[in-house]
Structure 1
């Protein structure tokens, strides 16, 4: 049994991490969040020491490391706001623990280089949650694409990615609506898709921004083996009619050469699967995230071109 600490236990994604810690037979000994609406912990680890001040949490984790042989924290799980990930990963490594961090791991590519240095110094590892790589449909797609490329190395697929997940007014008031803290829509809700696409279709050749606003991000990506039109939004107004008719607040679609690629289900246990791989030493490390972090960083700094070139059809609704 390994001891875990969790930063950001009051956040949306934290219950999946607590479930993964419990499902893998481990223990959560310390957790911190500036908000104290964390009753969900009772469903997983009611005996966990909880803190609302990071300084007291830091002190507790340090005491466990120095004074309680066998009770020290082996892993720090990080579910805090995006802009704090870098600092919290550094905290994990300084306390002689491996880090397990939600996506996006960091906001800028140079943060990866600095963390690699600290990783070497500490001898500890930074792991990130890239659960789409473990999704069976994605595994099957990568296998199919790899086989096709082996037959013809010049193969280039045409891909459309569409993802809308409705968010209320709170979203824009929270840190998620602040581009400096979240990285914007493309980073906040899209980074794991960009990771998956580069994982399947290869390295980036071209990155174009068509629309970038507080509720929409859309662009064109050219990868080694794919031409990708993509559209992401948190605004329910842009949901397609089929979603509105069925009272759906989320719409997710990927087509490959005009054929719909189904991956709407199968997400339930992917955090647990991620933890299982990390505990075996097979987690996705810093180099794994370099492509997707570079994509969202570059997109954030591109001048939007408007509806020019090969843009996603949903752009016309904005």
Structure 2
């Protein structure tokens, strides 16, 4: 049985990590969040220690190191995006391997920095890239691999996930903390595209705003027009009033259906990490490079390679 700590226990994604720790047969020894809305712990791991000050959490974690049976093995990081780098480094320096939510960090330079801390501590960082474990994604990857080598697929990716006014008031609405909509809600899609279609060859941005972003990505095996939004007004007419989220991926005229099968992907990710098959810093680098360019690139005018939704935005 491995001992875990969790940083960011009050966040939306934290319960999936708590359940993954429990479902893989391990122990959540201690959790930390500066927000005390963490009652979910009672239904998953009620005996876990909990702190709302990072200093007390860190001191307790150091005390656990005194006995081999209590020493922490892993730190799970579910904190706001802008704190990931500091919390990952702290976990490594505690002598633990670290499992972090996406986006791992905002820039490739911070991946380089974490590689240094890995070497200094002898510990490793793993990123949750759960779409790589989804059956539909794995089948599509096999299909692409089996296609003639000169085949390039035409892909249209549309993801609209409505967010209320609270979003702008939270850290997620602050580009200094969440790094923008393309990073915050899109990074796992960009990782998925790389995982399926290979290396990125071209990256063009056609729209960049607080609530939506769009562009064109060309990979070794695909041409991708993408649109991401948190604005409910962008939902298709036949979806408005019925659902708050619209996800559509069209691949050369065929729809990729992967709405189901998400429930246990964090647990699957944990099992792979614990078995020595987790995705590390090198695996995360490609999607971090992609979103870093998207954030810094100038906006190009709409054209034949832009998503159909872009023309309406630029009128």
Task: Give 1:262's match in structure 2, choosing from 253, 257, 261.
Answer: 257
Give distance in 2, aligned partners of 1:76 and 1:277.
16
Aligned pair partner of 2:221 in 220, 225, 231: 225
Aligned partners of 2:50, 2:256: CA distance in 1, in Å? 42
Query: C-alpha offsets along residues 75-118 of structure 1, whole Å, 9 cap, x if unaligned?
Result: 00000000110111101110000000000000001111111111
* Residue 275 of structure 2: aligned partner: 280
Structure 2 Cα separation of the partners of residues 297 and 305 of structure 1: 17
- Checking the alignment, whether the CA contact within 8 Å between 1:238 and 1:317 is kept in structure 2 is no
Q: C-alpha displacement at 1:308, in angstroms? A: 3.2
Return the alpha-carbon distance in structure 1 between the equivalents of residues 122 and 304 of structure 2: 47
Q: Give yes or no for the alignment of 1:73 onto 2:72.
A: yes
Provide Cα deviations, 1:187-245, integer angstroms capped at 9, x if missing partner: 00000000000111011111000011000010000111110000000010000112115
Shift of 1:68: 2.2
CA distance in 2, matches of 1:10, 1:196: 27
Residues 148-195 of structure 1: CA distance to partner in whole angstroms, max 9, x if unpaired? 1xxx22111100000000000111111111111111000000000000
Shift of 1:69: 2.3
Root-mean-square deviation (CA), in Å? 0.9
Shift of 1:317: 3.9
Name the TM-score, length of structure 1 as normaliser: 0.97
**Unaligned 5+ runs, structure 2:** none
Pair 1:91 & 2:90 matched: yes
The equivalent residue for 2:121 is 122
Say if 1:89 and 1:99, in contact at 8 Å, map to a contact too: yes
Contact 1:155 1:225 in 2 (8 A): yes
More helix by share: 1
Which residue matches 2:24? 24
- Residue 306 of structure 1, CA deviation: 3.5
How far 1:59 moved relative to its partner? 0.4
Residue ranges of structure 1 left out of the alignment (5+ in a row) = none
SS at match of 2:217: strand
Of residues 260, 280, 284, the one that matches 1:289 is 284
Give the deviation of 1:261 after TM superposition.
Answer: 1.0
Instruction: Output the CA distance in 2 between the equivalents of 1:214 and 1:306.
Output: 18
1:6 — aligned with what? 6
Relative to the length of structure 2, the TM-score reads 0.98
**What SS does structure 1 have at the residue aligned with 2:249?**
strand
